[in-house]
Structure 1
């Protein structure tokens, strides 16, 4: 979970920074000890966030961007909507709760299914879909394929977390939501199951009969 600075930076630091909200880039406006004006400020830390050091303290660039653009130091976590911790465009930043921020995390390196919220049951071999609900995992169903389980997770994530949900199939899920196929209904109906093909209509079957067979019999 991204940390938060306990207090805003001094005005001295803000006076030598320039932020472009369209690109998310912060640059120095002054020359200091061989550092030219116009150079991009900060470096990338171990978590992938750009940080800027001043006066013995370290500030994350997206917090400074929020302060410069919004005029207030963020009391909540500043979340990167697209999950890229170095994309500090103002349109990509939003305030979030710890739970919302956690929902938007990428797949951990320990994931073995390739999908968020999907694990394989070691005995049955089927794919279980689950989602974090508070401090517990909510079971969403067992599926024949990992992709089916991933779509069940997406459905629950859309219902529970809205815009903060990180989906396995974002385009398809957003189209379902736009079409009014809300997941709440799917969850009450039970796990997702592919529809069985409809039987061939009777009139098609009649047309496929070779009438010459009857003529020969006659």
Structure 2
């Protein structure tokens, strides 16, 4: 996706770090085709919280000149002066855009801080009951491949194997949290 130039970004938004919110700044008259549009836009939006929540992703985004931009990416760019590859919300709350809650990560790092999949039936990430073997199976995806951690008689043993592997493969402590 094409990103906004940083100077333009900073001229459009004010970032309130205490609440993790972006606000529209007043725009100068030359940014508009006519005086009426200038007055109308500034009356409606200047000083107001920017963006809305996406129904499909749950992230806040803003639209500018026909393009959508995720607010957490804009905040990262405003605070650091650089566009991130990916942003991870440390605690997993997509509506918490305080800079202290964001971190720039690779795809694999982001995957190590996922919420529990909705399809999970065991209540533990990477653990399921195999009807064929009648045992609990533990696995983890690390270093780009699915790794078997073994088959266990007890669910607790499979869960311990999974937790140990999460430590070994440097998973975030919040990985596997329940969805909000």
The 8 Å contact of residues 59 and 70 in structure 2, kept in 1 or not, is answered as yes
1:21 matched to 2:17? The reply is: yes
Where 1:35 maps in the other structure, the secondary structure is: helix
Q: Which has the higher strand share?
A: 2
Alignment of 1:1-218 (within 5 A): 5-9=1-5, 11-30=7-26, 32=41, 35-45=44-54, 46-74=56-84, 76-163=85-172, 166-167=175-176
Deviation at 1:8, TM superposition (A): 2.9
Between the two proteins, the alignment pairs up a number of residues equal to 164
* 1:125-162 deviation per Cα after TM superposition (whole angstroms, max 9, x unaligned): 32111001244321112233434322321211121124
Distance change in 2, residues 1:35/1:125 (3 Å): farther
Question: Taking CA–CA contacts closer than 8 Å with sequence separation of 6 or more, which of the two structures ends up with the larger relative contact order?
Answer: 2
The 8 Å contact of residues 19 and 26 in structure 1, kept in 2 or not, is answered as yes
Runs (5+) with no aligned partner, structure 1: 169-218
Deviation at 1:106, TM superposition (A): 1.0
Runs (5+) with no aligned partner, structure 2: 27-39
**Rg (Cα) greater in structure:** 1
Deviation at 1:13, TM superposition (A): 4.5
Distance 1:90 1:150 in 2: 33
Deviation at 1:19, TM superposition (A): 1.0
- Superposition RMSD on alpha carbons, in Å? 2.4
Where 1:15 maps in the other structure, the secondary structure is: helix
* 1:14-50 deviation per Cα after TM superposition (whole angstroms, max 9, x unaligned): 3231112232111223372752433221111211111
The 8 Å contact of residues 63 and 73 in structure 1, kept in 2 or not, is answered as yes
**If the length of structure 2 is used for normalisation, what is the TM-score?**
0.78
